[in-house]
Amino acid sequence: MRRAIISVSNKQGLAEFARVLEDHGIEIYSTGGTRRHLESAGIPVRDVAAYTGFPEMMDGRVKTLHAKIFAGILCRRDNPEDMAALAEHGILTFDLVVVNLYPFQETVAKPGVTFDEAIEQIDIGGPSLVRAAAKNHAFTTIVTDPSQYDRVLAEIRATKSVSPELRRDLAVAAFAHTAKYDAAIAEWFARQLPPTPTLPRKGGGGETDAPSKFPPQLQLVLEKLDDLRYGENPHQAAAVYAQTDTPGAALVRAEKLHGKELSYNNLLDLDSALSAVRDWPAPCVVVIKHNNPCGAATDGVLSVATRKALDGDPISAFGSVLGFNRPLDAAAAEVLAEPGRFVEAIVAPDYDPAAITILTTRPTWKNSVRLLRLKPMEASSGAWQCRPVDGGFLVQEPDIEIPDETKWHVATSVRPAESLWPDLRFAWRMVRYAKSNAIVVAREGSLIGVGAGQMSRVDSVRIALEKAGDRARGSVLASDAFFPFADSIELAAAAGIAAVIQPGGSKRDQEVIDACNRHKLAMIFTGTRHFRH
């Protein structure tokens, strides 16, 4: 190994790495800021422009794009014609290429970044160098991340070269690196450009709808974070990946403060818990069991909200996952640690030190509960939801819009009492997080009954009312979609429900309204459905 070309944006550990190369007689060629960085560290560097005889230009847009660079990287050392071409044109071989790319993703994630600023962070020469070296990995080593420096140096120190096995591993990582980079650029561009016309509907006569929000191609770039013990069941292998091109706080990158590794099912439940609490303006606690809320509450005092949430369905709350949208304090931790309670995992924006002590030292808790810190908790407004189906993906916007009460109207002759409006708002926000067909019953800022995932809406009503029991009298009931028949209203009225909130839109809306009026039961139509399949 005789020559290296180094051109990096991330200069972490670079001087130390280059110094070892120099110590082993490897000549270093570099450009611009990288060359100045190495020279300031006292490391001899040869200027790429001096070697190619072609200066950097256009504010650094053109630096390494030259045949004397790429031929020296792509040359097959065992090919006589390749080697003769190098000799004819006075081209040197490069055995090591160290490149990482302009920080495009970091740039576009910043608030207020302009289109032109983002464009200037699209690297051209860097990906070209990476792909050339990776293609020729039989002879050339490609390094794309500072985390790879130690492995490369270990082999150079031991053998003065890099093994074919490591060159191949680094080439795989390099192609993944450029694929991720290009996908991030493609997705960003898709979000900047005007909406594209939709394709003609299949079998629909060729007509098109309004312009689509979704690009013709969608790149999903996923980075493996860890293998999981198993999937939903022990016979299913599983792993967790992070979507690398989505800005904002992400559950999969939350900081784990305590507890054993998270399971596949833990992560699914934590995702539901996070979704349910992250957009609430007031302190909120939600209790998730099997991906459905079995309790939730809001209150100005977090410990009160915690108790109300757990007491919504205390039997189901055993072994649940909890979400908090405020730092978990000692008083709330004391409620969680009461005898007879057990929680699998918690996600919160932070934890008071006293709360961590309580939750990690009590005999029934200390070896079990997983504590995750995610700060900030705000969701990325640009994120899309992708769900696999056989042969492809379904893609949609998340259901995160804040309820627009200007679209609400009281459909019945009876109006809800003023005291019921806070619970109606609470129930309407919470019903979107239960699996459809979803029914929730709420009272005094807490869920007291949930019916979810049933094939008929009336069965969900029946389950929610049974969970609520005597507490249903004077409470409110929310439905994620319209009532197709009046049978659900008859059950609600018999249980003493005081008001109902639902989207409306059924062919039998009048039948449902008449049943409410008959029972002097107030009902609000919101005009918005909240299915969660």
Which is catalytic among the residues 11, 66, 135, 519? Answer: 135
**Whether 507 is catalytic:** no
**What's CA 476's distance to the chain center, in Å?**
33
Taking the CB of residue 429, how many other CB atoms lie within 10 A of it? 21
| The two structure tokens encoding residue 14 | 């670079």
Report d(CA 479, CA 503) in Å as an integer.
Answer: 8
What are the two backbone dihedrals, phi and then psi, of residue 359, each rounded to the nearest 5 degrees? -80, -15
Report d(CA 440, CA 449) in Å as an integer.
Answer: 6
Contact 492, 477 (CB under 8 A): yes
Contact 165, 172 (CB under 8 A): no
Give DSSP secondary structure letters for 204-243: TTT---SPBSS-SS----EEEEEEES-SSSTTS-EEEEEE
Give DSSP secondary structure letters for 328-393: B-HHHHHHHTSTT--EEEEEES-B-HHHHHHHHHSTTTTTT-EEEE-SS-PPPTT--EEEEETTEE
Contact 171, 134 (CB under 8 A): yes
Buried b (16+ CB within 10 A) or exposed e, 18-35: beebbeeebbbbbbeebb
Report d(CA 514, CA 488) in Å as an integer.
Answer: 13
CA-closest candidate to residue 218, choices 386, 75, 374: 386
| The two structure tokens encoding residue 356 | 């961590």
Q: Name the CA radius of gyration of the chain, rounded.
A: 30
CA angle 261, 231, 376 (to 5 degrees): 50
Which is catalytic among the residues 290, 366, 375, 507? Answer: 290
Report strand pairing: 499-502 vs 522-525: parallel
**Whether 63 is catalytic:** no
Q: Which residues are tagged catalytic?
A: 135, 290
